[in-house]
Structure 1
Amino acid sequence: MPESTLSRVAIWDGTRPLGAGRLSWNGDEIIAVEAEAADETPRFAVIPGLIDTHVHLGGYAGPGEQPWGSPWSLVTPDAEKVFHIAAQAQRAMRAGVTTVRDLAGDALQLAVSRVFDDGVQIGPRVRVHGQVGMTAGHGDLFIPPHYPHRPPVADSPDECRKLVRQWARQGAHGIKIYASGGVLSMGDRVGWRNQTDEEIRTVIDEAHALAMPVAAHSHDAASARRALEAGVDSIEHGTGLVPELWPLVTGRDVPVAPTLLINDRLADGTVPVSAEAREKAAAVVAERDANFADAAQAGVRFVLGTDANGVMVRFGEQHAEVRLMARMFGWSAERALVSATSDAADAIGMGDRIGRLRPGFAADFVVVDGRPWEDASHIDVDRIVAVVSRGRLVAGSLPS
């Protein structure tokens, strides 16, 4: 494959601006990032592709909408769902999100991930975490009680260990646990304990033995403490990260996906959900708003994680989440962009391959009209000029 070059552009490498330069790549590998004299200030800039550390690809991707709670996910055959999963991922890719991590995936998401990796279809990098939850826990309560087909659950340490091993055998990249109840699960309460301490420790022990990181859903202080003390690798949502827990997070530099936009929309009624879910979301937002800004200033490591599912947050709205993070945390535009690129890559264990524009790294990058590391308003999907994923132009056109 011949080498490709993008010249006379401003380059931001995932951590800092490099000035005007030239980016060269061959297939899915960056060959060179070099300074280059420019007669005038370049209009266009290049940044690494964004990385969303918390998504759910399994929703309807067709025209129109399937409202939350519709039976689509229950009655649609798996063979058909795979196409929707791929379409959601490709939608994210074309909007400059070149890596996503699905935090409740299964064999279908894993199939799509492999198809993209093998080049059978063009798509972003898809990491998949298999879920280990309990009967009547947050993950289980998305399925109506009398519907016979449901994802596997684990109700003892031994069952937890076995389910982790089954996910490893399927090729999962990591594990997702539920340390608390959640907002959208039916008949659930945010503060309900999910899994015992021994079950959580067993999941983490077995997953780590098999080189799989563990992400923990957590919406209150008690669940966050339990997960952190057990050695979890990331906190998802993190609503209850009260000040006394900050040292537990910063001491191990545990990444936290704040999922701001989705909870705002659930709480204010932008997304129509049940009164129960809206009430729970409002309580989550109130507690989150009381803690998050100070947590960020104390060094809690927030990274881009939207909970995008194609309904409440669409694939392509990650840029709005990054802008919201900048406002809530009092961050500069550059600090916010780091959270969505190089730091997000490190958070999912891929920091040696993606999230930075460096020789030897993957050719995932976005050409934008503006300077998104200087002005957060430029972190905007409408400013995208071109997207290159795995070395291929997948959206727009490269400036000549």
Structure 2
Amino acid sequence: MPVRLAFALAAAIVPIAAQSADAASSGHDISVLRCARLFDPAAGKMLGVSTVIVEGDRIKEIRAGAVDPEPYRQAAAGGHFAYVDVADGTCLPGLIDSHTHLTSQTSATGFTDQFRWNIADYAVRSTVYARRTLLAGFTTVRNLGDNQNESIALRNAINAGVVPGPRIFTAGKPIGSTGGHADPTDGYRMDLAGDPGTKDGIINSPEDAIKAVRQHYKDGVDLLKIMPSGGVLDESASVDNAQMTIEEIKAVVTAAHDYGYTVAAHAHGAEAIRRAVLAGVDSIEHGTFMNDEDMKLMKEHGTWYVPTITAGKYVQQMAEKPGYYPPQVAAKAKLVGPIIQATAGKAYKAGVKIAFGTDAAVYPHGQNAREFQYMVEAGIPPMVALQAATTHAAELLHKPGELGQIAAGRHADVIAVPGNPLDDITTMQRVSFVMKDGVIYKQDGQALDR
């Protein structure tokens, strides 16, 4: 019996592929997805009626128009067969959030919970946050910082099929300087603060930087995250001061690239952004006070920008609630919140490459798609916003041949939303179908028990 999502049929299109069910191997799990529209981010087009054929965990073929599912049902004999009719909606590649923190979440008690919770408490909660993220349509994330490498364990559990969640590329602990945004003991009393070192991601020289990178390699991370500027949610005074020397950043980048890692740089302040770009980082996260010189440098160096507007909006809102943040944190949140969206719009107009990212955990997990609306409000066209979360983010991950597109041979990551997001970008907040690696986790707007 066909599974029908409540969507209307769109017009037929020119063929994308012309293979048949004969190409499907007998006895495999096969899914046939009939889409009223199909978003092709590589071509920058919204295609018409299309059928996506999934075999196992990969996309087998894409055919123009509707097809008879019966031959595919027969080809799946001995395996599982599913037919999904997205009758008036849009199929898109599984979305990629380039900036998340799946092992924590904003809370009015967050600053005191750290003295009561064990790392296991964060790890258990992370399984809930991971599932919410997946059901929101985000099948892949970069996790840019945790407490004690618990995101590595979460990644491994998801990969092993123990818990549902997005495909995770994790940086483990962030790397920064003593007293800087990465220092986990900021705000602690003296006898608790101690002197965190390279094993904790805290460096104070190029030599420390190299050792920290090698420790992260030993820990099993997928990329690195550095903190060359102040930040909002630590208990220090500045959100934008430079907190790593250019020599330290260069040492991290050089060692990281030796190991095949990319480097993401949390940077609000203009000077920290400049240093990070000149040192060769792969992406700037937040970039609140980015100036014209920074944007010019980023274009010259091909540096990606991940705006995280949602986080800025949320901290500004929460800063108005008495007691939600410590006073110095609230002051920084009120400063950053009104600026970050406008910066994203300016960066787009300046030609800076943009990848989608939200800083999930700073706001409640599962609301990631709000970023699309904020990007469009900033002057970024809907097409570009969607590409930022698909092909652009896949390129940032160095996975352009695996993720970010619905194409033969790619991971079978497919989502669906009602209507056409190019006409109404807010429909991205109403994901009704989610498939990751050929497994359906959500259909008819309802989560399945996986």
TM over 0.5: yes
AA of the residue aligned to 1:19: G
Does structure 2 retain, via aligned residues, the 8 Å contact 1:59–1:73?
A: no
Q: Deviations over 1:79-135 (max 9, x none)?
A: 332221122111100111111111113431111111211223332101111321111
Q: 2:98 matched to 1:53?
A: yes
Quote the residue 1:323 is aligned against.
373
1:297 aligns with 2:339: no
Bigger RCO of structures 1 and 2 (CA < 8 A, at least 6 apart): 1
Q: Residue in 2 aligned with 1:102? A: 143
Larger deviation, residues 345-354 vs 143-152: 143-152
Question: Match for residue 116 of structure 2?
Answer: 75
Q: 2 CA distance for matches of 1:290 and 1:42?
A: 37
Q: Indicate the residue corresponding to 1:32 in structure 2.
A: 61
Return the alpha-carbon distance in structure 1 between the equivalents of residues 374 and 109 of structure 2. Answer: 24
Contact 1:12 1:373 in 2 (8 A): no
Report if the CA contact (8 A) 1:141-1:187 is conserved.
no
Q: Give the stretch that moved more between structures: 129-138 or 357-366.
A: 129-138
Q: How has the CA–CA distance of structure 1 residues 148 and 298 changed in structure 2, closer, same or farther, with 3 Å as cutoff?
A: closer
Would you say 1:359 and 2:408 are equivalent positions? yes
Q: CA deviation at 1:66?
A: 3.9
Note the C-alpha offset of 1:201.
0.7
Alpha carbons 1:30, 1:359 under 8 Å: kept: yes
1:205 is aligned to 254
Using the size of structure 1 for normalisation, the TM-score is 0.90
The unaligned stretches of length 5 or more in structure 2 are 1-27, 68-85
* Contact 1:216/1:236, CA 8 A, preserved across alignment: yes
TM-score normalized by structure 2? 0.81
With 129-138 and 265-274 compared, the bigger mean Cα shift is at 265-274
Structure 1 pair 87/46, CA: closer, same or farther in 2 (3 Å)? Answer: same
User: 8 Å contact 1:372–1:379 — kept in the other structure?
Assistant: yes
Task: Return the alpha-carbon distance in structure 2 between the equivalents of residues 188 and 232 of structure 1.
Answer: 25
Q: Deviations over 1:15-42 (max 9, x none)?
A: 422211101112221111110159xx94
How many corresponding residue pairs? 390
Cα RMSD between the aligned structures?
Answer: 2.4
- Written as runs of structure 1 = structure 2, the 5 A alignment for 1:1-400 is 1-15=28-42, 16-37=45-66, 42-59=87-104, 66-105=107-146, 106-130=148-172, 131-140=174-183, 143-146=186-189, 147=192, 151-268=200-317, 269=319, 272-288=324-340, 291-309=343-361, 312-328=362-378, 330-381=379-430, 384-397=431-444
Distance across 2 between alignment mates of 1:337 and 1:161: 36
Q: Percent identity?
A: 30
Deviations for 1:150-201, whole angstroms, at most 9, x for unmatched residues?
6341222111101100101121011111111111110231232212221111
C-alpha contact (below 8 Å) 1:116/1:123 kept by paired residues: yes
Distance change in 2, residues 1:294/1:178 (3 Å)? same
| C-alpha distance in structure 2 between counterparts of 1:160 and 1:316, whole Å | 34
* Shift, 1:251, TM fit: 2.0
Query: 2:351 is paired with a residue of what secondary structure?
Result: coil
